Amino acid sequence: MSIDDVLKSPIQSDRLSWLRCWSRLRFSIALTAVSLVGFTAGCSKDEIKQAFEDAKAKTQEVTESTVTAVEAHLPESGKVSLRSTSPIEEASQATVEIISVGDGRPSSLQLFTYNPNSERFTYPAIHLHGPTTVSDVASLTGVTVPCDMYMLTSNSGQVAMTKPGESAQVTFGVFNRDEGTISATMSQVELMTSDDQTIAISGGEILAVVKEVTQ
């Protein structure tokens, strides 16, 4: 992907528009400061000091409100938080989709905390997948899907997975159409690594970005 493609993407366009807004704001603040220098000519020291204090307070107020607005408009990337006796870092992104198999067979739910098409993973790398009769993510609210789970917490770690015959029960909550996300909770489950170590997970919370349905 070229740099032009990146800059033209919806997410980057969103960020760029806010960055432009922020740049204009900083320029306006600078002009205000320059104007004060001219305004304070002939004023007493106390009057000059008070004028600058007022401008400083106003600048701080505008800055804080702008930062809040920028944060509110940044697109959601999802997250997965797991509870375990051994702390597991929160995954800062998550996507979910339902792949329709067809021919009367169950669809497949797929949830990733990393890009499966990339050669470089973000950690912890978590993959959940399981069968479901639901045909689209928006209809998952209130549905529990038994999932096979795979997890890699670091580049040098061992892949942990659900034991044969066991599954992680993922119960889906609210689908936010405006944000394009869906929440979920995960039941307790034990994962086993290739060197026979056990990772006990007592539960977890998920917020996933919904991908388009794949036929």
Is 215 part of any domain?
Answer: no
Please give the residue range of the domain that contains residue 25.
3-73
Examine the domain organization and report whether 91 and 126 are in the same domain: yes
What is the tally of structural domains in the chain? 2
Examine the domain organization and report whether 94 and 9 are in the same domain: no
Examine the domain organization and report whether 32 and 110 are in the same domain: no
Examine the domain organization and report whether 161 and 59 are in the same domain: no
Domain edge (last residue) among 22, 50, 73: 73
Examine the domain organization and report whether 36 and 51 are in the same domain: yes
Domain edge (last residue) among 40, 73, 106: 73
Examine the domain organization and report whether 198 and 100 are in the same domain: yes
Neighbours of 204 (CB within 10 A): 23
Is 165 part of any domain?
Answer: yes
Q: Whole-angstrom Cα distance, residue 24 to residue 170?
A: 45
Examine the domain organization and report whether 101 and 157 are in the same domain: yes
Question: For residues 54, 58, 61 and 67, what is the CA-based torsion angle, rounded to 10 degrees?
Answer: -140
- Asked if 75 contacts 181 with a C-beta cutoff of 8 angstroms, the reply is no
Q: Whole-angstrom Cα distance, residue 45 to residue 78?
A: 53
Provide CB contacts within 8 A for 151, sequence distance 6+.
88, 124, 125, 126, 127, 159, 160, 161, 191, 199
Examine the domain organization and report whether 38 and 86 are in the same domain: no
Examine the domain organization and report whether 85 and 120 are in the same domain: yes
Model pLDDT, residue 143: 97
Task: Compute mean pLDDT per 10 residues along the chain, 215 residues long, and list them.
Answer: 39 46 46 46 62 64 52 70 94 95 87 91 94 93 97 93 96 94 97 93 97 57
Interval 7-47: pLDDT, tens: 344 444 444 444 444 444 444 444 444 444 444 455 666 66
Examine the domain organization and report whether 105 and 138 are in the same domain: yes
Model pLDDT, residue 121: 83
Cis check for the bond before 124: say yes or no (omega within 30 of 0): yes
Examine the domain organization and report whether 175 and 155 are in the same domain: yes
Q: pTM for the complete prediction?
A: 0.65
Neighbours of 1 (CB within 10 A): 7
Neighbours of 62 (CB within 10 A): 14
DSSP character for 136? S
Domain edge (last residue) among 12, 38, 73: 73
φ, ψ at 175 (rounded to 5°): -95, 120
Exposure string over 19-32, b if 16+ CB within 10 A, otherwise e: eeeeeeeeeeeeee
Examine the domain organization and report whether 93 and 43 are in the same domain: no
How does strand 107-112 pair with strand 125-132?
antiparallel
Is 161 part of any domain?
Answer: yes
